[in-house]
Chains A and B, each alone.
Chain A
């Protein structure tokens, strides 16, 4: 009978739960789904990570290649993110060129990388004006159940922490690059941006980490990306119901606690990986 009510009146069904300050899956309004992360699973990639936020699954693979730097920034490498939402993750996506949601997510990840300065682009330089590293970060969603931006940000961070770049020297005689695959070093990750997403219900209620259904019923969404010093890299609110300054402040404090949770999880995973 509850299933019938849910199909006919999904919003009313949700309101009944929200009145009791909980959600159909048993979570509280400020509670995240179980987060699991698996690092280094793709052996052919230079760095990889798989993140699961409840059912939402995103895998990130990082490949490093050589490139010539641009003339106006001869000592800067590139970090090129790409978010792919294939039809296998949800029935709402069709095969073909990237849809709007994938493009917006790609832009969001590019903004996070740019704003948070997670990697100093100068670290990716091998020989100024001649050779730089370009890191292609491919994020593929394997299962779409809401809150894709949080999962993508976390997967990207974990994958970048896993990337090992071989040492490259430029041979003076032949002017060719020589790659020493035996000597690899990790990237210097300067900040750890963590995203926290909220959904706005009925213009007033804020819930954290919305599932796919909740996102569909919500009247607005908000994503805050914070680094460890409490600085904001991105406040992404693409329209939707209005928020007062006080509500925004509540979101900030939740984002700070979420950052601590994620950082602790990531540190545990990195420590558990045996050094190669």
Chain B
């Protein structure tokens, strides 16, 4: 019995500008430019960018695989496609929440719900939950995925340097914050099913 969960995340939006085709009296040919291509500093940066997405996909996929009851649906493939509409910080946490809600909406049997919570640690040790893009430039950014049953840590992805005690503080804060997220899940689902 094999159950695969694929996750694709298309993050980069290509900007392109093109000029009109050669018109009368204009000697320039059709030209186009892709902003994104020019702003890359060197080849290795673009390689790592694609690899970063793969890494993110793996994190989300493994989290889903841990909660989805795959044994109830043998020989089934569950594909989760995530499309970023806008990124204002805490992207991975948002992706996790979206993936969970999508799985619930699809009626996939799960052993628990999960939510993503991000927190940023400043240089003086202040904790900021759900940081914006600007706040994410802090000393460390930690993203956790917590399950709904016992608030256990399902997934963690961290960036930056931090101490052990700070980790425990962030984890405790994330566990407290996850309560709000789960309450929001419950309310939105109640609202949806009360209508129909």
Contact = CB atoms under 8 A, between A and B. Distances in A.
Interface of A: 67, 70-72, 78, 80, 100, 103-104, 106-108, 110-111, 114-117, 134, 219-220, 227, 230-245, 248-249, 252
Nearest to A241: B66
Interface residues of B, number: 41
A242 B150 contact: yes
Please provide the 7 A-B residue pairs with the shortest distance between their CB atoms, ordered closest to farther: A239-B62, A242-B152, A70-B41, A239-B63, A107-B55, A237-B156, A238-B62
Interface of B: 41-42, 44, 48, 50-52, 54-55, 58-66, 140, 142, 145-147, 150, 152-164, 167-168, 171-172
Contact of A248 (B44, B58, B171): B171
A234 B143 CA distance: 11
Contacts of B150: 242, 244
A235 B48 contact: no
Main DSSP-derived SS at the A contact region = mixed
A100 B164 CA distance: 30
A234 B62 CA distance: 18
A252 to B, nearest CB: 5
B62 A117 contact: no
A116 B150 CA distance: 32
Given A67-B42, A117-B161, A235-B167, A242 B153 contact: yes
A238 B52 contact: no
A235 B142 contact: yes
B116 to A, nearest CB: 12
Looking at A67, A78, A245, the one whose CB has the most chain B CB atoms below 10 A away is A245
A236 B54 contact: no
A242 B63 CA distance: 10
Nearest to B159: A115
Given A80-B44, A106-B51, A237 B155 contact: yes
Contact of B48 (A110, A230, A237): A110
B4 to A, nearest CB: 12
B41 A115 contact: no
Contacts of B54: 100, 103-104, 107
Nearest to A80: B44
A233 B166 CA distance: 12
29 contacts: A78-B42, A78-B44, A106-B48, A108-B55, A110-B51, A116-B161, A220-B66, A231-B162, A231-B163, A232-B164, A232-B167, A235-B142, A235-B158, A235-B167, A236-B157, A238-B155, A239-B59, A239-B62, A239-B64, A240-B66, A241-B66, A241-B154, A242-B146, A242-B150, A242-B153, A242-B154, A245-B171, A248-B168, A252-B164
